[in-house]
A and B are shown apart, each in its own frame.
Chain A
Amino acid sequence: MVQELHRLKETPSQTAGPYVHIGLTPNYCDIRGVYDDDLGTAMVNDQTLGERITVRGRILDGADTLVRDAIAEIWQADSAGLYNSPSEMRGAADPNFTGWGRCPTNAEDGYFQFETIKPGKVPFKDGRLMAPHITLWIVARGINIGLHTRIYFSDEVEANAVDPLLLRIEHRQRVETMLARKDGSTYTLDIHLQGPKETVFLDI
């Protein structure tokens, strides 16, 4: 016999289901008066530092049909590359930037959309700088466990070329599944849940 490790098992995930909006964005589904605002609607205010950008995207299933009942959440560093989190030990992040956003995919055109700022670079574990990126987490009916991926920026060509995570992608043509296309101040990305253009999802 050896000593017990006394570890617990993580609670198993279950799908968010079709009515996830009731819990996470009640105002979006016309439940008024319980919460003043849906959480994660505003990431920036007038004082937020950095380059203002819009990040938007759609989620498509294996038949290229829009997933209109998903919730997307993003988490990102501020313009100086600092996270607004107690676990951020490198400095104080911009107090006018939450770093976290939540948005349902729209019931009509299927887009999620965030008004945010371009994140700065943050270090990989070995000190190399990662290319600017946004963590994206998706839940929906039919998704048994939330899907993690990242949004990188198509115009960060040099940084993307040496990004430690992107370099880990064996099939190089799949790198572009994580690159949001720039059009003015808007970055757009389609997430493909499966099929030839399947997005690279992370076990991280």
Chain B
Amino acid sequence: MSANSNKQPETGGFFARDRAWHAPALTPEYKTSILRSPQRALLSLDGTISEITGPVFGHSMIGELDNDLIHNYARPGESAIGERIIVHGRVLDERGQPVRGALLEFWQANAGGRYRHKKETYLAAIDPNFAGCGRAITDEDGRYAFRTVKPGPYPWPNGVNDWRPAHIHFSVFGHGFAQRLITQMYFEGDPMIWKCPIVNTIPDKRAIEQLIAPLDWGQTIPMDARAYKFDIVLRGRRSTLFENRLEGN
């Protein structure tokens, strides 16, 4: 990814993570967290070269249909069932700078709220033309886009009557392994967002709102697909200027 860029590689350390902005490990209303949450204090320290570096992925690994979930599992001439949407946005860092060459992987339920997974038991139907996975790599401006169907909400065993709001999972690689992030995108106007125990693991309402993609009428394609905009922010880096100080550069 850096071959076609004249920008210098970034080698600065990352801003400390604001842990209060994220969900804590133990969130009893989301029951599975109870036995899977570390209870000891994390060992906090500034990142080393082991975290400042990270793998990068070339655009060449991306197949033609990797960002088209409507067609990447469909039989020839067919397509996935559901509301056609485009999800697009930018990957930025905390300084507001675009993260180019970021690998995004996404996965989701089908339009009926059913995942294609052997552990999935919801009675909603499988769509034979829909797998629910895709990926994209951001361009020089940090932009990405993919086409899919809007996922359905679904019930899950937690409380007696808990339902997940419609959502798309995102996995993101930046330039350093310390930026590694997995999150979920929700859809503007969904009243179920605020009822969800997983959403509500995040303590700050403004942080939750950062996960809600607005309907983007401007990017909506007439007679084809509505658009939702979802920007993702990864940890920012310190300027290399500050990093070299100790070595006298």
Q: Is the CB of A34 within 8 A of B169?
A: no
Distance between B137 CB and nearest chain A CB, rounded to angstroms: 12
Contact with A along B207-223 (1 / 0, CB 8 A): 11011000000000000
- Count class of interface residues, chain B: 35 or more
Interface SS of chain B: helix, strand, loop or mixed? loop
Q: Is the CB of A12 within 8 A of B183?
A: yes
- Count class of interface residues, chain A: 35 or more
Task: Name the A residues within 8 Å of B94 (CB-CB).
Answer: 7-10
Q: Is the CB of B36 within 8 A of A142?
A: yes
Q: Which of A49-57, A109-117, A124-132, A154-162 contacts B (4 or more CB under 8 A)?
A: A124-132
The answer to whether A62 has its CB under 8 Å from any CB of chain B is yes
Q: Is the CB of B25 within 8 A of A198?
A: no
Name which residue of chain B comes closest to A31, CB basis: B131
Task: Name the B residues within 8 Å of A185 (CB-CB).
Answer: none
The answer to whether B162 has its CB under 8 Å from any CB of chain A is no
Within 8 A of A (CB), among B46-81: 46-57, 63, 65-66, 72-73
Within 8 A of A (CB), among B146-166: none
Given known contacts A75-B55, A135-B177, is B48 in contact with A12 (CB within 8 Å)? no
The answer to whether A77 has its CB under 8 Å from any CB of chain B is yes
Name which residue of chain A comes closest to B131, CB basis: A31
Distance between A54 CB and nearest chain B CB, rounded to angstroms: 20
A residues neighboring B (CB under 8 Å): 6-24, 26, 29-31, 33-35, 39, 61-63, 65, 67, 69, 73, 75-77, 83-89, 98-100, 122-126, 130, 133, 135, 137, 139-148, 150, 165, 168-169, 174, 193-194, 198-204
Known: A23-B133, A143-B33, A143-B37. 11 other contacts (CB 8 A): A10-B22, A12-B211, A21-B117, A34-B73, A35-B133, A65-B35, A83-B49, A86-B2, A87-B11, A87-B54, A142-B36
26 CB-based A-B contacts, threshold 8 Å: A6-B95, A7-B96, A8-B92, A12-B202, A13-B181, A15-B30, A23-B169, A24-B105, A26-B133, A35-B133, A35-B135, A61-B36, A65-B35, A73-B180, A83-B50, A85-B176, A98-B55, A135-B177, A137-B177, A143-B25, A144-B33, A144-B201, A146-B181, A194-B35, A200-B43, A201-B40
